Amino acid sequence: MKTYTDEALARAVYQIAAARMQAAGCEMPCSAEAFAVISAAAPDAVDYSAMAALCNPDFLDAAYILLLGREVDAPAKAAWQAQFGLPEAVFRTNVLTTILRSAEYQRNPVPLTGCPLPLMQDDGRNLLIAAQAMPERLVRLYQKMPRPVQKLAKKLAGKE
């Protein structure tokens, strides 16, 4: 007889249901890995460290369910799929900041704890979406440019 850890049992049970679901021509709402994380979550806070080991698609599933209380809707999933190839830290920052800033989350905010990602501006007033910020490397490059080139760069970037 096997003994399971909580996570391993969650995955095993989920996979049994997934096989039945597939046989019926349907899809499961999330991956088994995300499900294992979700199954033992505390009701009053979302612990980032529990999700830390997930790959990008699984992280997306878990973050939606834990922070918004629902599965990723199809349009959102399609939009996020384009970013699955991003580095984990960037992808996660994007997902979390988008969720935390959403009106849906703000209506029933569950605190996210233990997240080492840069979700908060230094002034502490709001969150940033890393993908929307100019990459730091470009900023450094820009700072090294001669002034006329800087002006041209600004024009090209539509900032002037």
Partner 1 sequence: MPETRVYIDLSRLCLTPFTTGIQRVAKEIVLRMLHDESLSVTLLSALPSQTAWRILPQDAFEAYYTEHTGSPFGDAVPQTLIPEDIPSDAVFFDIDSAWNMPMQRGWLFPKLKQRGVTVVSHLYDLIPVTEPQYFHQQTMRQFLSWITAVLQYADHIICNAEATKEALRTLCDTLEMQTPDCTVVPLGADFAQKAAGGTPEPGELPHLPQYRYLLAVGTIEPRKNHRLLLDAVPALAERGIKVVFAGRIGWNMDEFAKEMENHPENGRSFFFVKAPSDAAVRRLYQNALAVAFPTKNEGFGLPIVEAFLHGTPVLASDIPVLREVGGDLADYFDNTRVDSLTAAVDRLLADDTAYQAKRRTIAGYRPRTWDCAAQEMAAALRSCGSVQGDVPPQTAVTQIAVLTARNDDLLRTLPYLDANMPFITRMLVVCPERNIPALREGWQGRIQPEFCPEEQLLGGGQLPADHAVRNFLLRCRMMQKAPLDDVFIMTDDDYRPVVPVQPALFLKGGRYQGYYCYDLRRWKGTQGNYSDYDRSMFRTRDFLTENGLPALQYSSHQPQIIDRRIYLEMLDAFPGIETQGLDEWSSYFNFGIARHPRMFSAARYCTLTFPGAVTDWEIMYPPQELIFENFYADSYAAGGVFAGLPSDYSAETAVSVNAEKIRRWSAEMQKQTAQKAVTDTYRTMFRDRYACLPEFQLHMQEGRPVLRIPPLLYVPAGGVIRVPLLTDDAVRESGLPVIYGMDDSSGQTILPETELHLNDAVSGIGPELILALPVHGFRGILHIRFGEAAANCAVSCIEL
Query: Which residues contribute to the site for partner 1 (CB under 8 A)?
Result: 1-6, 9-10, 12-14, 16-17, 20-21, 24-26, 28-30, 35, 38-44, 52, 65, 70-71, 89, 100-101, 105-106, 109, 111-120, 122-127, 136-137
Inter-residue contact 84 to 59 (CB < 8 Å): no
Q: How far is the CB of 115 from partner 1 (least distance, A)?
A: 6
Nearer CB in complex with partner 1: 143/156? 143
Nearer CB in complex with partner 1: 28/95? 28
Nearer CB in complex with partner 1: 125/159? 125
Token readout for 136 is: 């730091």
Inter-residue contact 32 to 11 (CB < 8 Å): yes
Euclidean distance between CA atoms 142 and 154, whole angstroms: 9
Inter-residue contact 112 to 100 (CB < 8 Å): yes
Q: How far is the CB of 55 from partner 1 (least distance, A)?
A: 16
Q: How far is the CB of 13 from partner 1 (least distance, A)?
A: 5
Q: At what angle do helices 32-39 and 56-63 cross, to 10 degrees?
A: 40
